[in-house]
A and B are shown apart, each in its own frame.
Chain A
């Protein structure tokens, strides 16, 4: 049971980070369809950074930059040049997949992707707390990025609710015209939010490559960005809500892994669909939420 819950948390971590980034983007009024590409770029950059320098810290910084680079592309195309959010997001996802796969081969100098193997980030057990029976190993013996995710939820909640910039960001997603009239710059707000979204989602990618797998493989995010997108919607665009949704999706996947382990007579591909089916069912059940930022996806007016 502990093992199952630990697996749930492990699977939920990269999703939750990406969802946190997505919340920034969507609350500012830009659909976070590009999360998948941002995660993938982050996962790739983290692996390259850690592998070439041997320092995980460099990998993490590069993950932030790699995700932010994709965010920057979305910010320019979808915000500055007012292109459709959905199409832009899908385009950067495909771009990111192609680019990372290509660079893998460039690095090897041949037709085969370079192989970069790292030892995954080790857990940092928190002294004393991690010695509590059952709860200790479950909650207080995780690798560093997992703790960071929890801090991220807390930080983002405070940022959105308690700071002037957070208030302005939320207002930009609801009524950018009013933000302009209030003397702030909705264009800049949206662009920065999308770039920050990229950085945080890139960190989510780093969790996959640095902390869990220990290498980068082509398209290794395999839909997790989209799942994070579903999670932030199910979580009503709030950090804790999205994190909770990620845990549910994580639990579904952890359960499926166990089923496979028991050799259930079902195709593994069918089982892998489980989290996505759950996401679809929950989304359909919720309908269009009243919490959806009112001006999401709407281009800013030209004169701002």
Chain B
């Protein structure tokens, strides 16, 4: 059987960096190929080369036996390749049908809206996508928007679908639906490249896997028979998937963060304490009040009622600055928007909170040389890979950006840390790193609230696990008495 796609010896450099170093890749019809690798391993570059968004420095691409060379995305699409980007290429203000028609010659110069709309409805039924052709895309949940992209590919008769980290923005139930859809596409003999760094999904849905590291192929294997540990080892060179034994916390100290009937808009009254040397993990499906919890604890959302105490002091109505001065640190989920000023340098971002104090300032003037020295030390300590303190944050990978936030917040030696999706979008190595740093902070006597929709992360780090559902805590259990069944029930919204 001749392969659907044959990439040979692909090389692509960005300056000194060789993002793709002589990569070969084959995809057969009816195959789901997992393309695995850490952030910055060259997966996205390779796929952009395939799709014609980047040009390869050398190498060849054959699709259905025909050479593709110097092609544009439009030509790649015409040939039968569809790319589903991590950030959807959709127009929120338009309907599903309009999005399908955009750039599609078959829709006609004068648009045949009715005809396309009925084709949308048919294909949606056939592949179980449940899409209303007239729905406005911006009003759809993320999982549905992704299906609009899949629908576009199907209607354009794409034979190869490239999905770039398709699950990174989805809720667990949406991920399950997506995998079902992918299997249906496989049954129709489509080739699929599934880019990810999440191992369970690879094991679940892929036929074969290719692992990239630092721009090279470091492993190829059929998924049947491969174990999670092996894949992880190929990916980052060591096995990090085994749950690390968290040292049993020392007997926790006094309460550092205390809530009594504390409530906020979207948050039911909560009463709990987090003690010195303790990590309270908060699990749950996204959108069940986690955002309201972290934002009201950090002071960005006003409290509605109850009392919030930090080391015994009432901070229910305190400003964000006052909370910070008392030792509260906050790592928001949306780091690009809330934690970092992406257009500024690493040093400037590091000094963002404490720019009035030494070593960043003396009197009214900033002290750039000292700030740079301090930043350099943090970069070494937290393994932030960039040219120097002057590097612009926007140019760094997501993992390195998050490490800046971690470095800044942890370096302040907070009494209480509120972390929301702290490992979001990070590969396993970087995730481990962030979790280890938090455990170290805990061991120095801080109280940590670790909120994440990744249950595995929460279980790996927490001394106690709380589950949020419907704006409140469905239940809390200590690490020593974990009951996965009960946690599942709580997450599904059933009270204890």
List residues of A whose CB falls within 8 A of some B CB: 162-165, 167-168, 170-171, 174-175, 177-184, 291, 293-294
Q: Which B residues contact A (CB, under 8 angstroms)? A: 72-74, 77-78, 83, 85, 87-94, 98, 101-105, 107-111, 113
Kindly state the separation between the CA atoms of A181 and B77 in the bound complex, as whole angstroms.
Answer: 9
Across the interface, which residues of A come within 8 angstroms of B88, CB to CB? 178
Question: Main SS of the interface on chain B?
Answer: loop
B101 / chain A contacts, CB cutoff of 8 Å: 164, 167
CB-nearest residue of chain B to A180: B73
Chain B residues whose CB sits within 8 angstroms of the CB of A184 once the complex forms: 74, 102-103
B110–A167 CB distance below 8 A: no
6 A-B pairs with least C-beta separation? A183-B74, A182-B103, A178-B89, A181-B89, A174-B91, A183-B103
Additional A-B contact list (18), CB under 8 Å, known A168-B103, A291-B93: A162-B110, A162-B111, A164-B101, A164-B105, A164-B108, A164-B109, A164-B111, A171-B102, A174-B93, A175-B91, A175-B92, A177-B89, A178-B90, A181-B73, A181-B89, A182-B89, A183-B103, A184-B102
**Nearest-Cβ distance from residue A155 to partner chain B, whole angstroms:** 13
Our pick among A163, A175, A291 for the contact of B110 (Cβ within 8 Å) is A163
Chain B residues, Cβ within 8 Å of A163? 109-111
Closest approach, in angstroms, between the C-beta of B357 and any C-beta of chain A?
35
Contact partner of B91 among A162, A165, A171, A291, CB < 8 A?
A171
| Complex CA–CA separation, A165 to B90 (angstroms) | 17
Cα–Cα, bound, A212→B59 (Å):
66
Contacts of A165 in B (CB 8 A): 109
Question: Are A175 and B103 in touch, CB under 8 angstroms?
Answer: no
B94: chain A residues at CB < 8 Å are 167, 170-171, 174
| Known contacts A182-B102, A183-B74, A183-B103: A175-B89 contact under CB 8 Å | yes
User: How far is the CB of A42 from the nearest CB of chain B, in Å?
Assistant: 29
Q: Is B91's CB under 8 angstroms from A178's CB? A: yes
Nearest CB in chain A to that of B76: its residue: A183
A sample of 16 cross-chain residue pairs with beta-carbon separation below 8 angstroms, ordered by A number, consists of A162-B111, A162-B113, A164-B101, A164-B110, A164-B111, A167-B101, A167-B102, A170-B93, A174-B91, A174-B92, A179-B103, A181-B85, A181-B89, A182-B102, A183-B72, A294-B93
Q: How far is the CA of A201 from the CA of B109 in the complex (A)?
A: 26
Closest to B54 in A: A303
Which A residues lie within 8 Å of B83 (CB)?
A: 181
The chain A residue sitting closest to B75, CB to CB, is A183
Kindly state the separation between the CA atoms of A165 and B102 in the bound complex, as whole angstroms. Answer: 9
Contact indicator B111/A167 (Cβ below 8 Å): yes
- What CA separation (Å) do A171 and B104 show in the bound complex? 13
| B contact residues around A171 at 8 Å (CB) | 91, 94, 102
Q: Which of A162, A168, A293 contacts B102 (CB 8 A)?
A: A168
User: Which residue of chain B has the shortest Cβ distance to A178 in the bound complex?
Assistant: B89
In the bound assembly, the distance between CA atoms of A177 and B90 in angstroms comes to 9
Residues of chain A within 8 A of B107, CB atoms compared: 164
| A156, B331: Cα distance in complex, Å | 48
List residues of chain B with CB within 8 A of the CB of A181.
Answer: 73, 83, 85, 89
For B74, list chain A residues within 8 Å (CB).
183-184
CB distance from B123 to the nearest CB of A (A): 18
- Complex formed: what's the CA distance from A162 to B107 in Å? 10
Expressed in whole angstroms, the minimum distance between the Cβ of B58 and any Cβ of chain A is: 20
Which residues of chain A are near B103, meaning CB under 8 Å?
A: 168, 179, 182-184
Residues of B within 8 A of A168 (CB): 102-103
